[in-house]
Amino acid sequence: MRLLTVLGSLGFLLFATLSGLEAQQTTDVTEQEIERYRAMISDPMANPAFLNVDRGEALWSTARGSKNVSLQQCDLGEGAGKLEGAYAKLPRYFADADRVMDIEQRLLWCMQSLQDLETTDIVRRRFSGPGVVSDLEDLVAFVANKSSGMKFAVSISSLKEREMLAVGEALFYRRSAVMDFSCATCHGDDGKRIRLQALPNLAKPGKPAQETMGSWPTYRVSQSQMRTMQHRLWDCYRQMRMPAPDYASDGITALTLYLTKQAEGGDIVVPSIKR
């Protein structure tokens, strides 16, 4: 009887080991196929997000608002109308607004202060969908693309930037809502995945954070839409069953600053394309 029990236990262990190896092999093959798929669609001509870039360029130079001016005098940190490298240094402190802003916050500020444009409908269309075109997604795609090929280099030289960075780190680790999740629950360790999707460790500076942050904004094939970091964080909160964060809120800017600081020195290649 004991012999049968031992043999049964050995058989179970062998089965479990083989099953684990088979699962690992399946995972490896899946990752290889996903990478092959990404390589196939990496050509800009195959990336629909470059249509967003073109629309954003047109919006940037279109006169709107009661002042009937374009955004070409909007200062994104490098000087009025200067776009090259601006996205790579956002979020950052802006003295004229006395706030640390990310790209969406700054674009909205320029629409309101420079153009005197009513932005209620623009914010309502913050995320694109079937029959809905987002001015903000298009503008972010255009501006971000001007930093493509550059490296992240956010500043924390001012007190408000350092305060915002500390808030972002606290938000990254804060557990709440019905699932008691935080950002770190999924992105705080190496080797985690959800279903077939590998989860990058964003809790430490380095390649995973660089590759993650450096690929947003991106075209999501599964959604047939281009998405910004605002949408990515909004969707993360939704999946954690947390209250939806306000669009262009200081909390999202703080979290974005923390994640971008983790990605410092990483290459920006945008708009990218993801599953």
DSSP state of 266: P
HSE at residue 230, side-chain half, CA atoms within 13 A, is 25
Nearest residue to 76 via CA among 92, 65, 61: 92
Which positions ≥6 away from 170 have C-beta within 8 Å?
A: none
Closest CA to 272 of 44, 55, 54: 44
| 183 classed as catalytic | no
Among 74, 110, 186, 236, the active-site one is 236
Q: What is the dihedral of CA 197, 198, 202, 204, to 10 degrees?
A: 180
Torsion region of 216: left, alpha or beta (phi above 0 gives left; psi -120 to 50 gives alpha) = beta
Candidates 145, 120, 125; CA nearest to 136 is 125
Rounded to an integer, what distance in angstroms lies between the CA atom of residue 98 and that of residue 205? 28
Beta carbons within 10 angstroms of residue 8's beta carbon: 10
Q: What span, in angstroms and rounded, lies between the C-alpha atoms of 150 and 88?
A: 7
Sheet with 225-227: strands ordered across = 225-227, 218-220, 272-274
Cβ–Cβ contacts within 10 Å for residue 77, how many?
19
Give the active site residues. Answer: 236
